[in-house]
Structure 1
């Protein structure tokens, strides 16, 4: 075609008519617009009596076929409505068509009456073909339509699947193709073919639809994917309309493809077409939610979990996510959903229905968690049955996470959501420990840490560490006890973080022992040296000598920043290895690692004197402090390396007097200078070292925990060692529990001091501090083994296997003497073997 513009003559007649049942949908074949330059024939221009009817008939003369199309409308219809009818008949996308009357283009939003359309008038229909490739697309598409219709008429068409798949492969990347594909109603034709009773036809349709969806997913251009997402949605709706639901594999394939496209291109619901897409997304949400409700109902039985695939659960999340984001984008902030939608009934309906889905799922999950709790509490439940109780419950976490996000859309929904989880705290924590995976995002629980317990928070934090990499060779170290800090510094500092992912293998010089027991001992010894006050790296809190924070004066050591990076790595490695090293962080240090602001209450333990001084300044009588009797300005005097200097807390701070109006600012600046600014380099290097081991997730790690959680992970239990708990978690090899040597042993241990018990435990296991759970928190049970040696032989241990070995002593006195020797602090190291 030489010109991109072509015209048809459209003749408007005003007359009464009856509906014509003839379907011209597939009868008119040409994809071209053809000029009718000749005037209308006399037969088409016959005068008709005027009537008061508002109905019009338009005749579109098709010159290339000597055919005339009949288009019906009323004066109340818009120009757009008329164009849509014409576009449908002549198979040209509506977006390419314009109507011209008396030399002016008619606006699509005006109705025909407003445009002055009466009897016996001529209109020009102008079509613009945007590229010379469009006629080729039309022709090729019409051939595919013809092929599908032949199949529907039960004709035998060899290579039908190949032809259709080749057609998609050739034309889907053409930007014109989407409009032609949809205009020719190919989705409807393929679905009709899929419903054919003939197996061959069904197979052709199945392959064609799946290939179309897969081609849409494989596209690199998001703009094209944004178009084809509507086609994939239409396939879903058409299949659903003919009865193909969640048990139909083709429907599931299309629905999953629709969800994937949503994730690829994002969804912006800013126009009417997108609003229809929004509604399509909701149908999928409702359908999947109904399936989840059935699954949750069946999973309430203690020994059954219901049947639902992980893809169905993830499908619900995949559709719900763009749905809630689209509604939020359409309406802005949701202060009280359901109030602001009078002008948009569709959106109002979807918002209300999604709220119903939220309440239904939350209520059902509340019931399920209660049933789980009752089943777990049944002491008589067999261990195997207790495992069966939770088979399939991993889906609960995915559903809860999405309900958390939906709750933010509705007034009062968040409070209801957290209320349910607070009631079911034990079960939520159990689900997290049992089913939470490294690949999932669990940060939503950070918003209300009160709904979890220590065990679940620790589990989430520990999953941030990379898993042990078997492909990486272990990092080997040979360290002398007399130089344990300096030599450990060199080994750990020069190691690449990747090399530490394979684990650490170390031994002390001139000692044969190696393995996990020696490694635990090394962690404790090194960390004790790092936080030893004599090394001036960290300061101990005056009121709690276990608590430490970086020392601003550590710069006296030229390698102090290297030591802070090293200490960050060591603490991370100890946490990763689940070794309790016996030290804890002060709140000012912990909060900085978590990225939180330091307040006055945070410094209570770190500097009690400064804390009480600041409290007095803030509580002082207004008139008293305004007399400047304290002589305070926004500056402080500090001593560094034997020299004193003035530090201004703000610009020109020496000249700003502290009074009742600015004292809160003064106290805040004082705290920030003392506990943030002055140690920022030390904290930064510690954080960098820690991040090396945890793959950069340092901030998230500390945000998952309370300070008390970290205390328990680093220090362990503060409780005195329980001999009964110790005994309950000990087994025997060579001895029997009723043997007199075993009775003597526990009697002697029961009379030991608290410190002797700790030394014995360390000798036995290289565990100096028990986990907060006590002995059940250890990696293994403990063992007492019979040693075939004379009774003058001292007890020995295999710390890697938690084994204590001693010969069958002939009396309790001899046993007590031998145990007394190994429970001396200076004798507890180097006795064990791996």
Structure 2
């Protein structure tokens, strides 16, 4: 065959040269075995030669290009394929200029299309090899017998896609107005784990001469002369075989930027063209994953699975239409079989190169879960925990949840430690030997992170809540699954998706079951003749509430700490109130008011934030601080909201994280900003400007100044650029940890006496603990009105009810708090908002001069049917301002 008849490209130019071919085989035998770096150089060089070839034949697509070696410039005469291949090698050797590619603008020639397996797109279109890498050049010359016909040798579709090859297919399909090649290619690639895993991978480089897909410039490849370039071209066949073999063991990472650009180009077409093919391919892919994942051995390389999922979740339409209803559920069902190691790799990839996709992936999963909740008819035999698509999507969302933390701002795990055990007495530690501890999440353990390490996530944690799902979940059933040893699915193991209000119900069931358990034990003791105490009974005097409560709780905690887990029943001496919950609420409120009284000097108030903190120079005993810890634990345990105002660092410390510099921001903003200014100061005269040493000062309870050296001889060590970070860390550690170590450990001990066995740490983050203790800040009385029920003849259309809400909405915030206190026993908004109160307004007889009354245990307001709005307002205001205690009215 003459040269004019030969199909020619840069690869074939070397294959037609026996000496070059022989040289390449010998070179491969030596370099692929002993010198991986040279092999990578050759792979990158081949890619550059191909870029030069396309630049000479097709151009860069820029109409104003000024590169004389580019067809788009208009200065280059038309070249035959042979001439272009030869000049491409020459330009590479000269490190000539390469244009930036404009793939959406480049018009590809008909000979560049890739055919589908076992078929061709037209009688004239065939390709040459059994396996064609997507970056290889496919060209042809004119047949001698027919100048208008083009001759090709047949080849199947490549076993993987690249960004460029997808552009080629799209351009060819648009040129021929036939999209069969695109449909077949998508079906072939996206239905196969192996094919998709090897698609859109990054350039195989890891040497000092590294070349990436975004920086392929001639100057970055050194040490290859022209003869070596021709030699590596002759090695193509064997290189491809060896690469295919090695790919079974090593899969290169996905180039997500290329994936996104490729999908952008694909979805510019009408989706009706390829949608069904892509969806069917994804369903097939999911089936393959579901069959293969459970049987994979742990030691096998799992990078191919990671690549597959990374590519699939970049599909723009995955959260809409038939993709949402068919393809995404199938992928989620398959992904629930991912080993922990693969989940960790996927989380790391999403947190790094894939972080820009986290929000979109999360929205797709949320839409899928919401859609299934709406469409599935749940009943007594089918609970939301039984719906496989919802549970599998939740499991996949957990991977994204940890990726979201990794992509955010993390603190050192060294701050997370069990610092409390060292200061607790041996009797208490002995009582905790057999206590249950929260289960460790295998994925968190594999990643080496904890939610406490995340100072600021990439997306707010609240975006992971699914309110519709939370409202649908029956927490009694979910709690039963959580306690079951049969491995049933429970959302309590995936608390990030549940709203705090729903998680509170899970905590409530756990607490109530423990209370009933303690009550049964007490009853059994009574049968055997032992004293029976089914409840935690406290009898206190209103005027000596702290002393009485301290004595009784201290005795109980010393005698049998488990008694603290019984249901609390409070009795005020000399009052007739029977505690069904309301008396306990008032007890907690009065204790908090007294304990934070400045006269006790147990806590100090930060003037900027009005938060309270432990007084490091307090004279009160440890027992007083233990009492406060017990009260805080009992409030959570008995579902009571407290009017406390601790900074967030306290709740982080309760969860096991030491205070750090960033915690100063809401603890003492003025100090935080001053220290931050020091850290940001970059001039060398820092010591002269700030005039600070490692000696600090603070005031005791009497206002006297106390000096403290953060380091030995701290007064002689000035703060400099070299040691300023050490100073800030030591300063924060002293203020938040060391200076209050004694007081906090006593407080923590009391808190843990009550909640040590509850799933508190499993369900709630520190900011949710604050919400659980202090209630919501959403003081919306419209919610209260909409959720209120009526009894005794009242309805929402009764005139007195209309007048009541008109009066209530006009009250000041302080009076609204008093109304809440009067009707519910607490002036705090429960977690989830005022709609959770379920207030009941009942008719209490005809018009009279009596004041309104309330059953705070049941949130019932008893309201006589007053004759006028003015009388109603007068009686209501008097009732909320002057009522206190439980006596006869």
Query: TM-score, normalization: structure 1?
Result: 0.49
Choose between structure 1 and 2 for higher RCO, CA contacts under 8 A separated by at least 6 residues. Answer: 2
